[in-house]
Amino acid sequence: MTPLLEVRQLTKRFPIAGSRSVVQAVNGISFTLAPGETLGLVGESGSGKTTVGRCILGLTDISDGSIAFNGADLSLTRRQKPASLRGQVQIVFQEPADALDPRMRIGAAVEEPLLALGTPRDERRARAAEAVGFVGLDHRVLRLYPAELSAGQQQRVGIARAMITRPKLLVLDEPTSALDPTARADIIELLVRLQKQFGTAYLFISHDLSTVRFISHRVAVMYLGMIVEQGDAAAVFAQPRHPYSVGLLSSVLLPNPHLRRASSISLSGEIPSPINLPSGCYLASRCPFAADACRARVPPAEELGGGHLVHCIRHEDVAQTERTADTFDRFQEEAERILSVGAPAPA
Amino acid sequence: MPEAEATTGAIAETGRTSRLATLLQVARARPRFALGYVIVLAAVLAGALAPLVAPYSPVEANPAEFLQPPSAQHWLGTDAVGMDIFSRVIYAPRIDLAIAVAGTLLSAVVGCLIGAWVGYHSRGGGLRGWLAYLVMRAADVMQAFPVFVFAIALVASLGQSVQTVVLAIAFVNIPIYLRLMRSQVMTIREMRYVEASLVAGLSDARTIARHVMPNAMGPALAQLSVNVGWSILLTAGLSFVGAGVRSPTPEWGSMIASGFQNVVTGEWWPSVFPGLALAVTVFGFSLIGSSVELFADPVKMRRLTRDLAARRRERAA
């Protein structure tokens, strides 16, 4: 299958005003996204995952690398982009209240993306009503203002607005982290349903690992602007091969403490500053497996089969120490149980 | 989900108190605001109804009755050439208010448009960012100049006329709106709904018009009323030094100027009455300005309405 989105060696450096140094936010990452697929992009705050989303959306220009979307170049700045790309890539933001203009009625906000496509007024109205229907809202919300809705309803509006152009790719930047667990479960259920219905590919950016595990087909783990490991969600979650992934996964808080994954690998120390990145593996200063070779140069990607890529020269040692944990099946069950709280029973 | 839908309708109905009721409450609690509106309304009415009210022509001299003190015949006396001061004072808002309002509106429109553009492109690099930088430095130069000298220079180079005074007022006020709008826009530009509009493929201009401008206008609107007051003062000031409206057109500043030699010899009325009218009108506009500031500040507004409610309960108890 030809990928819908192909990111190659994407690099983004932010210059620091008044000095010659730069913040290396994204350091040469590559990944692909097939039509109708969900890629979960996980990592802690400051790992550059949001910047990747912004680069794909054209909200930030890129320093190096390429972003191809259906054969078209997405790295062009907004003004140079061909009109045919309009409405093909959409965004859902983290804070639903911030994503809606407080002075604009929901109806006007939802139909706005159609304005860029030159859709006539009557059709815009009809499609806005249809779009809020798809996300499970009554058409009466179209006359309301954002402040008159709950956070969960606002996020539904945000999704309706993004989906109204039937985009091929939806970038979801932490769409559920500002919501309470009930609303979160509703939104996840909605996203899964919409993907089945319209075949939209999702780039799901989140630090909420249980949500990512639930919704993603594949995951990519980011650390300091690099994807250190990527592969099928099931494979990565069942047996992470990069020490950082192991550390990240063992930090997941589950409501059931007995399910907590016991890991013998623990990362110590602070994240290095993205301004002066170490020359070798960025994790070397915190990694119990670190050898001299790690500090010499950035480890290349190694293919483990099934599209599972890992940037660690000692991944075999990691795998030996960290034996396949069947707790992850229970982890999955638990995640589903958590996410199903408050969600309507399947029809 | 279904219960969430049911509530949205209810939310829409409730939570809206009558705006008029709040307005009246505030007027009773803060009488000076009401005074401001009364003064400005009086000035506007005086100008509008002047032909019906004025006992004499505002521009016809009657040399036989020069420098008459206030009397039943000439309520506020007459000036050195025998023109009726009362008639001239009530005709004057036609010129003063018109010039001030036109000048202020012109500066607000131009200043806000430029300010929005500059604010939108300030953080960006390239040609646009550079141009935005240049505009701001030009505004610095304009503001570094003493307002009065700048206005006089403009009048001197463009010729003395009402239009020139309007232009001068617009010019000196543009940097105020430009800065206000720029700082607002720089904040709003980073808002997610602006980015969402750009991602959807709307052009910069359309995004500015739909989202940035409406959300950034508040402080500029609050500035308008205060600014009209200043502009009246500037209009009168320009006329006073002879760079504004020419006599015998009824205008407060030129009336003060033409009467002030007589003050020395004891005939105070040709200057004092237009001066009072000017002072009171400017005061009225600044009162309105501070009331707008209150209305635009939801925190202060909430505190005030809460205090009012508390006081009502006390009285009832």
Which of the four pLDDT bands, split at 50, 70 and 90, describes residue B35?
very high
Determine the distance in angstroms separating the CA of B252 from the nearest CA of chain A, rounded to an integer: 42
pLDDT at B11 over 70: no
Assigned domain for A124 exists? no
pLDDT at position B15: 40
Q: Report the complex ipTM.
A: 0.84
Pick the residue from chain B with its C-alpha nearest to A93: B192
Question: When comparing pLDDT for A327 and B13, which is higher?
Answer: A327
What pLDDT, in 10s, does the model give residues B200-217?
889 888 999 999 988 888
Q: Which domain holds residue A217?
A: 1-34+42-78+206-260+277-342
Assigned token pair, A270: 């602070």
- The residue ranges of chain A whose pLDDT is under 50 are 324, 326-327, 342-347
A223 strand-pairing partners? A226
Query: What is the β-pairing status of strands A169-173 and A38-42?
Result: unpaired
In this complex, the residue of A59, A100, A153 whose CB is nearest that of residue B4 is A153
pLDDT digits (tens, 9 = 90+) for A103-119: 899 999 999 999 999 99
pLDDT value for A326: 42
Contact B40, B50 (CB under 8 A): no
Chain A residues whose C-beta is within 8 A of a chain B C-beta are 57-59, 78-79, 83, 85-87, 89-91, 93, 95, 98-104, 109, 112-113, 115-117, 136-138, 140-141, 143-144, 148-150, 152-153, 158, 161, 165, 186, 344
Domain extent, residue B264, equals 44-316
Residue B268 lies in a domain: yes
Nearest CA among B109, B97, B103, B95 for reference residue B151: B103
Q: Is the pLDDT of residue B134 over 70?
A: yes
Let me know if residue A86 belongs to a domain: no
Task: State both tokens at A253.
Answer: 């808080």
How many CB atoms lie under 10 A from the CB of residue B296?
Answer: 13
Q: Is B257 part of any domain?
A: yes
> Can you say how many angstroms the Cα of residue A272 is from the centroid of all Cα atoms in its chain?
23
pLDDT at position A8, please? 92
Sign of the Cα torsion B86, B87, B90, B94 reads negative
Q: How far is CA A313 from the centre of its chain?
A: 26
Structural domain contains residue B28: no
**Cβ–Cβ contact B210 with A under 8 A:** yes
- Among A30, A121, A114, A100, which Cα is nearest to A68's? A30
Chain A residue with the nearest C-alpha to that of B11: A148
In a domain, A90, yes or no: no
Contact A7, A169 (CB under 8 A): no
Prediction pTM value: 0.77
Rounded CA separation A187/B42 (Å): 58
B298 falls within a domain: yes
Length of chain A: 347
How much of chain B, in percent, has pLDDT values that exceed 90? 43
A24-82 per-position pLDDT tens digit: 899 999 999 999 999 999 988 888 899 999 999 988 888 999 999 988 888 776 667 77
pLDDT-based confidence at B2, cuts 50/70/90?
very low
**Of B12 and B198, which is predicted with more confidence?**
B198
Chain B residues touching A91 at Cβ < 8 A? 195-196, 199
- Do residue B4 and residue A101 have CB atoms under 8 angstroms apart? no
pLDDT at residue A257, rounded to an integer: 55
In a domain, B14, yes or no: no
Those residues with Cβ within 8 angstroms of residue A206's Cβ, 6 or more apart along the chain or in another chain: A40, A41, A42, A172, A174, A175, A176, A177, A212
Instruction: Convert the pLDDT of each residue in A149-161 to its tens digit.
Output: 999 999 999 999 9
Residue B236 resides in a domain: yes
In Å, how far is B199's CA from the nearest CA of chain A? 6
The residues with which A171 forms a beta bridge, in sequence order, are A91, A203
Question: For B272-298, what is the mean pLDDT?
Answer: 88
Does the residue B115 lie in any domain? Answer: yes
Predicted local confidence at residue B16, as pLDDT: 46
Task: Show the tokens assigned to B7.
Answer: 């509530």
Question: Beta-strand (E) ranges in chain A?
Answer: 5-15, 22-33, 38-42, 64-69, 72-73, 89-92, 169-173, 201-206, 218-223, 226-232, 302-303, 309-310
Q: Are B229 and B205 in contact (CB under 8 A)?
A: no
Q: How many domains does chain B have?
A: 1
pLDDT, one tens digit per residue, over B302-315 is 788 788 888 888 88
* Residue A256 domain-assigned (yes or no): yes
Residue B3 pLDDT class (50, 70, 90 cuts): very low
- The domain that holds A5 is classified in CATH as 3.40.50.300
Q: Is B198 on the interface with A (CB under 8 A)?
A: yes
Tell me if B117 is assigned to some domain.
Answer: yes
List chain A residues with CB under 8 Å of B8.
137-138, 140-141, 144, 148-149, 153
pLDDT at residue B14 is higher than 80: no
A244 close to A221: Cβ distance less than 8 angstroms:
yes
Instruction: Answer whether residue A98 is part of any domain.
Output: no
Dihedrals phi, psi of A344, to nearest 5 degrees? -65, 150
- Average pLDDT over chain A, rounded to an integer: 85
Q: At what angle do helices B85-121 and B269-296 cross, to 10 degrees?
A: 40
- Give, as one character, the DSSP assignment of residue A88: T
Interface test with A, best of B133, B187, B193 (most A CBs within 10 A): B193
Backbone angles phi, psi at B249, to 5 degrees: -50, 130
> Is A133 inside a domain boundary?
no
Q: Return the pLDDT at A347.
A: 40
Average per-residue pLDDT in chain B?
86
CATH of the domain at B194: 1.10.3720.10
Q: What is the pLDDT of residues B230-265, one digit of tens each?
A: 999 999 999 888 888 887 889 999 999 988 888 888
With an 8 Å Cβ cutoff, are B200 and A143 in contact? Answer: no
Split into its structural domains, chain A has a count of 1
